[in-house]
Amino acid sequence: MAGAQGTPESEAGSFECFQNYTAPEVFVQGLAGIVDQQDVESMIRAQKQMLQRFEKTNEMLTNCNQLSVNRLKTAGSEFKKHTALLVEMKKDLDFIFKKVRVIKNKLSQQYPQAYNEAVRSSLAEEVIADDADQKPSEPEVPHQPPSSNVGERNPDSDGNK
């Protein structure tokens, strides 16, 4: 039996050199003999090039993030200033409208006829202004009087004469 080739007993002798290695190490050593060394070197070069590109991209993105953070801080502070300004303007406008209401009430109590006439004329002016604003947007169709000729057909008529 010891002389038979291809049997497990004969192959056991060929693995004696791998006795001190673990199974994964033996597997890796076996693969190392199969893989072409030039292919491995070209893969390593390609990986190094990709690593350089990724590092450069990472640096660019870090710079972009830093710029964004700085601009966000600036925009945030400006937004707070503008918000405070709007709040202050609203308070001022509320105060102004309150004063206007008080003045209107005083005028309507002291001079009711003149106040009512002023309100009516103001409303009439607003209606006229609104009408003037709306007229240019509407297309104008010239009005044609009905023709007296029997032979001509009026496009506005339904044909029953």
Which one-letter DSSP state was computed for residue 70?
Answer: H
Which one-letter DSSP state was computed for residue 156?
Answer: T
CB 29 within 8 A of CB 21: yes
Q: Record the tokens describing residue 117, joined without a space.
A: 């006439």
Cα first-last separation, the chain: 127
CB 18 within 8 A of CB 12: no
Q: Where in the chain are the domains? A: 22-135
pTM for the whole structure: 0.46
* 88 CB-side CA count, 13 A: 6
Q: What share of the chain is helix, strand, coil (3-state, %, to 5)?
A: 75, 0, 25
Q: Say what the pLDDT of residue 128 is.
A: 87
In the chain (161 residues long), the average pLDDT of successive 10-residue segments reads 49 59 86 83 96 98 98 98 98 98 95 93 87 65 54 51 45
Q: Say what the pLDDT of residue 99 is.
A: 98
Q: Say what the pLDDT of residue 37 is.
A: 84
